[in-house]
Amino acid sequence: MREVSERSAFGFLRPTAKYRSGLYYADQRQLGKARSAFEDVISLAPGSELAEKASAFIAQIDARSRVNPKTIGVVLPLSGKQQAMGQRALRGVQLGLGIYGRNPSGFRLAVIDSEGNPDAARRGVERLVVEDNVISVIGGLLSKTAGAEAAKAQEFAVPSIMMSQKAGLTDTGEYVFRNALTSQMQASALADVAISKLGAKRFAILFPNDPYGTEFANFFWDAVKMRGGSVTGAQSYDPKETDFRGHVQRLVGTYYVEDRAEEYRIRYRQYLEKNPKRSARQGQASPEDILPPIVDFDALFIPDSVKAAGQIAPMLAYNDVDNVRLLGTNLWNNPALVTRGQKFVENSVFVDGLFIGDRSFQNADFVKQYKELYGEEPGLIEAQAYDSGLLLRQLVGSGATSRIELQERLAGLKGFSGSLGQLEMSADRELIRPISVLSVKDGKIGPLENSLQ
């Protein structure tokens, strides 16, 4: 290819060879050589479609070299179904960057509405780099658009902080970071607490057969094994399921009688001996009347909504599955868990990024500032967005004035004081943040430590 591009004897083949050389150099991040090759394309084939493409690449290369250190870009869903979520994130970023207040930081925020559309999000990242010369991008709030935003940010070599839980997001490349409470983080924290603090060793998993449920089930299973525990049973169900009787029975071995045929015959004879006056009108005893459940697990993980948990919990009791700790995800951090599950979810344990009822949360400077500025209480999205803005504000303010410098400082982040505690970046460019472990005690949700006292 190089010989073709350099020798005039190849005539009309040279522009194509030069263009391919430019693509190769751009992929290798040798931008100077890439720009030179694309300029040759324009010179050799002026006015052609190939020249137009080469011009577009030159514009991208030039855009990468133009950076306004105090301009941060955000791509958020500010219209459509998720606009409320996008607005909450935008407020957090604004507060973290110090856009408003008595002493404005001097940072500029360039805002793009993704509309919840991957194509719009992708174009938004490109516009922020090419037109606004941002040093970094905050976004990726929705799983639907996060992949497109991450890919474009990596293509332009602009550090980006994504806020989606989408699996494998940081695998896109070294310029993609994440600030979110992922399913893997939750599963690891939950397994650690269950084994180290609650003394559980054996676990079962009852999960919806959808991306959310299967991802959590796999991460939890891995986390349990890593800590020396075991998973003795796993049962999936349709996400639209409302009757969990059969699923619980499959989990505890009372659904398929043929698997315990000999035991069933013995127990059935014993049952008839104890109930000689059972009338035909009463009908034949059901398998669960004869066979006791095999409860070979200390805790049951249910990665699903409070609605599902509220239906599963009483069904466990109905099938004589007692003294088993229920474990859940941050979806359970909702008063509706107790309303729906009532006494059957007592002592259940789950995790979240924060607990608004905690005194330390209410006394946090971030919470006070947010309430003062916006007149309402922040949640996890606002906290994550705030930390993302604060991070960039402080790193740029301390001298990271190029995208490469900012990327390096983000990758090496340790001991950063965030909205609700210390933050640090993992080797996978995942921002590790404090996780609250919660439980239901006396019909109320609160920190697990309170229920252990």
Mean pLDDT of successive 10-residue stretches along the chain, which has 453 residues: 46 77 83 86 88 86 84 97 96 94 87 96 94 96 96 93 94 97 96 96 97 96 97 96 93 78 74 66 64 89 97 94 95 96 96 89 91 93 97 96 95 94 95 95 90 61
What is the SS3 assignment for 198-217?
CCCCEEEEEEECCHHHHHHH
| Residue 65 token pair | 């070299």
Angstrom distance (rounded) from CA 90 to CA 109: 10
- The sheet with strand 422-425 has its strands ordered as 416-417, 422-425, 431-432
Angstrom distance (rounded) from CA 22 to CA 16: 10
Secondary element (H or E) of residue 233: strand 230-237
Secondary element (H or E) of residue 70: strand 68-76
Secondary element (H or E) of residue 444: strand 444-447
pLDDT of residue 4: 42
Q: What is the torsional sign of CA 444, 448, 450, 453?
A: positive
Q: Which residue has the tokens 């996400």?
A: 239
User: 68-181+362-436 in CATH: which number?
Assistant: 3.40.50.2300
Angstrom distance (rounded) from CA 116 to CA 87: 13
pTM of this structure: 0.83
Give percent helix, percent strand, percent coil of the chain, each to the nearest 5: 50, 15, 30
Domain 184-354+437-452 CATH assignment equals 3.40.50.720: no
Q: What is the largest CA-CA distance in the chain?
A: 105
State how far the alpha carbon of 91 is from the alpha carbons of 86, 182, 364, in Å. 9, 22, 17
Report whether 336 contacts 193 (CB < 8 A).
Answer: no
pLDDT of residue 283: 54
Report whether 24 contacts 38 (CB < 8 A).
Answer: no
For residue 397, the Cα-to-chain-centroid distance in whole angstroms is 29
For residue 319, the Cα-to-chain-centroid distance in whole angstroms is 34
Give the residue from 70, 2, 71, 78 showing the smallest Cα distance to 40. 2
